[in-house]
Structure 1
Amino acid sequence: MIYFERGSEHDEISLREMQEALYAVFDKLGQRNRVLILPPDFTRRHSMAGELTTMAYNYFRDRVADILPALGTHKPMSEAEIANMFEGIPAHVFQVHDWRNDVVEVGRISADFIRTISDGRVSYDWPVQVSRLIYYGQHDLILSIGQVVPHEVTGMANYNKNILVGTGGAEAINKSHFLGAAYGMERIMGRSQNPVRQLLNYAEQQYLSHLPILYILTVIGHNSNHQLVVKGLFIGHGTEVFEKAAELSLKVNFQMLDTPLKKVVVYLPADEYKSTWLGNKSIYRTRMALADNAELIVLAPAVECFGEDSKIDQLIRRFGYKGTDATIRAVAQNAELQQNLGAAAHLIHGSSEGRFKITYCTRLLAKNDIENVGFNYVPYDEMVKIYSPDKMREGMNRINGEDVFFISNPALGLWAWKNRFLDVDR
């Protein structure tokens, strides 16, 4: 059921208009006395989920029992990040999701189902895991808030991923990520229908349909002045509300190119990207746009580690981004990787498979650290003398006689060469 829908490629929805729409929906729902809000964390601050969470809190006030940022495997938000993203909301309302210890398994989906949807590429069962707070919190309204945008694991981000992955457990996260990697990231990105999404939809329908979940989904894009604005707002439950948002996101966030790119420079804003676990969106979101033997330059001033989680950081340092075949062999031979399939999936996602060159430019990770995981290295301060993010414009630039395609934040879209995208479809 859709309670509210508005959006187009040319729309710009103001904060006032979003609040009016949100409050009108809340009025229709009637009295709610124990509300749980599930926003994303600070790495998705551009989603407008912070503003929407604040609006929801201001409507319900002390009836908001809990706010649980959907961290997935990310680090907990700091007090400063919470204050910045969720202005005016008291800190005591916020809870921290513990993906390794504080989840409940509410069902299990068979290996036969997984084998069927993955075309035989994966054959294991899958646990339906969610935060105990969601399942046992006795809330009479659960608001799941976030942005729909192309995504490397689920094709299009958010919707029930916010719950089943964002507040899921280790086994569910690991196996869902590996399912996507095994099926093929380039077959999934930018597609709302794929095996991972099919799994999440089935899990919600079978095991979570009794929960009072309301989805509040945004689509974010640039206007003609290159400012980030809300292009779409969709509120409701059921797959239709997600499909509407995903359809608009493809129009707003997906840039189809007529020719492949030979050089791409991606900037990772310092307040959002502290790890390659997050920063490798620069690879995921551009790989289908890159020509063979192209170079991807990643400007990463604040990247200081590989994994958001210490165990995953160790595994990335140990095995590196060495490609699908090497990673599959490592999984077969190593029990730790078998228990952390999400890390294995990340290693596959972060490799160019030898097709193009990846140069990571950091201040806080040393040359040996970068090169040991399989990337090329140039110091950040040296590279920005040539490719300054302050001087380049979005898209194509001409620098020192060469064409350079610049992206100021990879989380905002997906770029693909038309022929490669269509070839994957076939």
Structure 2
Amino acid sequence: MTETTTVPPGLAEQAATIGGPEVVLTDQQVHDHIVAALAGMDLDGKSIALVVPDGTRSVPMPGLLRPVHEALRGRATKVTVVVALGTHAAMSEEAMGRFLGFEPGRSEETYPGWTFVNHEWWKKETFADLGVIPAEEVARYSSGRLTDRPMHVIVNRLVVENDVALVVGPVLPHEVVGISGGNKYFFPGLSGHDVIDMSHWVGALISSFEMIGTKGITPVRALINAAADRIPSEKLCVSVVTEAGTDRLHSVSVGTTETAWAAAAGIAAASHITYLDKPVKRVLSILPTMYEDIWTGAKGFYKLEPVVAEGGEVILYAPHITEISTMHPGLLKIGYHNRDYYVKQWEKFKDHPWGELAHSTHLRGMGTYDAETGEERNRVTVTLATSIPREQVEAVNLKWMDPADVDIAAMEADPDTFVVHNAGEVLYRLKDQA
């Protein structure tokens, strides 16, 4: 696993937490805990930017937003709900309503007084400029992985112009930062490309294989926290840990974006990492329909790569997916390659968006590249059984498979195949990686 710095002692205990990794909370418990915890916070007369995830996160958002609305009613002067897209596609009114719990076009009936918007990362006017973190600080936070480049910090102006930025969302093992949540909802959730590219590339240099599920303050989280320190508003958080494959919760933690995250991170690591005794030769990773392209659906690879044997295969099965990424066409140019492929040809790739380079390495997995011979060797085969055309899949250096040829029942009966339904939620590792 990658190096980390320890979460400060007692930080998690500063959040108001209910539940645990072996607990499944009732809706009433969730409601009452959120209302009570927010009631004790200084929110009267404050304007609030309420930051929520997009539909690529599996979490029962209506059951969280309703008690938040109750707790803020009559206290907050204004509430603007902003969907932290990162660089994902914008949510339509219909999709936002389904995910957040209101009838499209009638949000006022469910959440009176609240306004709902997407993080419009493609518009310059979306952002507030919070200055530059010097290169020497970036070098320190990244444990020396980036040494000569400062980091320009811009963030959605809503979290700057309001008194409070209140994050509400899940915490899960994550390929870039280790454990998601907390300040990650600002960076990359509401940020511009510099922080996204630099933090993702640091994660890629460490590798998803090593990073994913790592507890503590990883180099990437250190960069994210440094950027978040520049946000002037008060940063509060409702961090939840979901029960995988359901709409129930293991826990709810309410505090700051650091204390609530710290409390939830340990629970997420205990509930969302499954350890296998030995490697598997082949994985059939069945993606849910909430992943609309490979950019988001690649989580079905990230969370299974660690248990695949050398020379093995991961099949991403998603007949509903028709494209690599609408928002990131640059991936069609560079394709999917391992980390060393880029590092050893850095002059060729250094000006390509680093976030796309990072995603490319995360999906291709571990491997090597010989700069003298031009030979790339990858640890596992990545196969797409989707509706993406064969020529496009092979052009980006992945293997194609006709989804009609996938026999789930037969693969489940095959002792050499590990079939995972609803892939992308739970991280699988080997016991000797614990």
Q: Do both proteins adopt the same fold according to a TM-score greater than 0.5, normalized to the shorter chain?
A: yes
SS of the equivalent of 1:24 reads helix
Cα offset for 1:329?
A: 5.1
SS of the equivalent of 2:416 reads strand
Q: Residue 333 of structure 1 aligns with which residue?
A: 348
Q: Which moved more, 1:227-236 or 1:55-64?
A: 55-64
Cα offset for 1:181?
A: 0.6
Note if contact 1:256-1:415 (Cα within 8 Å) is conserved in structure 2: yes
Q: In structure 1, how many angstroms separate the alpha carbons of the residues matched to 2:198 and 2:228?
A: 16
Cα offset for 1:61?
A: 4.9
Q: In structure 1, how many angstroms separate the alpha carbons of the residues matched to 2:418 and 2:333?
A: 32
Q: Residue 355 of structure 1 aligns with which residue?
A: 379
Going from structure 1 to structure 2, the CA distance change for 1:78 and 1:118 (only over 3 Å counts) comes to same
The counterpart of 1:98, out of the listed 116, 120, 124, is 120
Going from structure 1 to structure 2, the CA distance change for 1:342 and 1:14 (only over 3 Å counts) comes to same
Q: Residue 34 of structure 2 aligns with which residue?
A: 22
Identity %: 23
Cα offset for 1:9?
A: 2.1
Q: In structure 1, how many angstroms separate the alpha carbons of the residues matched to 2:207 and 2:140?
A: 15
Q: Residue 257 of structure 1 aligns with which residue?
A: 276
Q: Residue 387 of structure 1 aligns with which residue?
A: 408
Q: In structure 2, how many angstroms separate the alpha carbons of the residues matched to 1:238 and 1:378?
A: 42
Matches within 5 A, 1:20-59: 20-30=32-42, 31-44=44-57, 46-59=58-71
SS of the equivalent of 2:83 reads coil
Q: Residue 203 of structure 1 aligns with which residue?
A: 227
Q: In structure 2, how many angstroms separate the alpha carbons of the residues matched to 1:409 and 1:64?
A: 37
Q: In structure 2, how many angstroms separate the alpha carbons of the residues matched to 1:212 and 1:120?
A: 30
Note if contact 1:13-1:232 (Cα within 8 Å) is conserved in structure 2: yes
User: Number of residues paired by the alignment?
Assistant: 396
Q: In structure 2, how many angstroms separate the alpha carbons of the residues matched to 1:176 and 1:233?
A: 27
Alignment pair present for 1:80 and 2:94: yes
SS of the equivalent of 1:168 reads coil
Q: In structure 2, how many angstroms separate the alpha carbons of the residues matched to 1:227 and 1:36?
A: 28
Q: In structure 2, how many angstroms separate the alpha carbons of the residues matched to 1:24 and 1:298?
A: 43
Q: In structure 1, how many angstroms separate the alpha carbons of the residues matched to 2:286 and 2:256?
A: 35
Q: Residue 155 of structure 1 aligns with which residue?
A: 178
SS of the equivalent of 1:144 reads strand
* Residues 85-136 of structure 1, C-alpha deviations (whole Å, 9 max, x = no match): 1223349811121224222221322222222343432222112221012112
Note if contact 1:50-1:86 (Cα within 8 Å) is conserved in structure 2: yes
The answer for unaligned runs of 5 or more in structure 2 is: 1-10, 368-377
Query: Aligned letter for 1:83?
Result: G
Matches within 5 A, 1:119-268: 119-123=143-147, 124-136=149-161, 139-192=162-215, 193-205=217-229, 207-208=230-231, 210-222=232-244, 227-237=246-256, 239-268=258-287
Q: Residue 324 of structure 1 aligns with which residue?
A: 339
Note if contact 2:182-2:239 (Cα within 8 Å) is conserved in structure 1: yes
SS of the equivalent of 2:90 reads coil
TM-score, structure 2 normalization: 0.85
Q: In structure 2, how many angstroms separate the alpha carbons of the residues matched to 1:327 and 1:387?
A: 35
Q: Residue 391 of structure 2 aligns with which residue?
A: 368
Alignment pair present for 1:406 and 2:419: yes
Query: Aligned letter for 2:155?
Result: V
Q: In structure 2, how many angstroms separate the alpha carbons of the residues matched to 1:165 and 1:227?
A: 26
Going from structure 1 to structure 2, the CA distance change for 1:195 and 1:369 (only over 3 Å counts) comes to same
Q: In structure 2, how many angstroms separate the alpha carbons of the residues matched to 1:33 and 1:215?
A: 15
Q: Which protein has the bigger helix share? A: 1
Cα offset for 1:228?
A: 4.7
The counterpart of 1:11, out of the listed 11, 15, 23, is 23
Q: Which moved more, 1:23-32 or 1:246-255?
A: 23-32
Note if contact 1:266-1:408 (Cα within 8 Å) is conserved in structure 2: yes
Query: Aligned letter for 1:346?
Result: H
* Residues 319-366 of structure 1, C-alpha deviations (whole Å, 9 max, x = no match): 1112223233565224xx625110111111111331111111112x11
Q: In structure 2, how many angstroms separate the alpha carbons of the residues matched to 1:12 and 1:213?
A: 27
Q: Residue 109 of structure 1 aligns with which residue?
A: 133
SS of the equivalent of 2:239 reads strand
Q: In structure 2, how many angstroms separate the alpha carbons of the residues matched to 1:64 and 1:305?
A: 39
User: Deviating runs (4+, > 4 A) in structure 1?
Assistant: 61-64
Query: Aligned letter for 1:242?
Result: W
Note if contact 1:57-1:64 (Cα within 8 Å) is conserved in structure 2: no
* Residues 272-292 of structure 1, C-alpha deviations (whole Å, 9 max, x = no match): 111111111122111111111
Going from structure 1 to structure 2, the CA distance change for 1:296 and 1:172 (only over 3 Å counts) comes to same
Q: Residue 325 of structure 2 aligns with which residue?
A: 307
* Residues 171-228 of structure 1, C-alpha deviations (whole Å, 9 max, x = no match): 11111111111133233211132100111223323x12x4122110001124xxx745
Query: Aligned letter for 2:347?
Result: A
Cα offset for 1:408?
A: 1.9
The answer for unaligned runs of 5 or more in structure 1 is: none
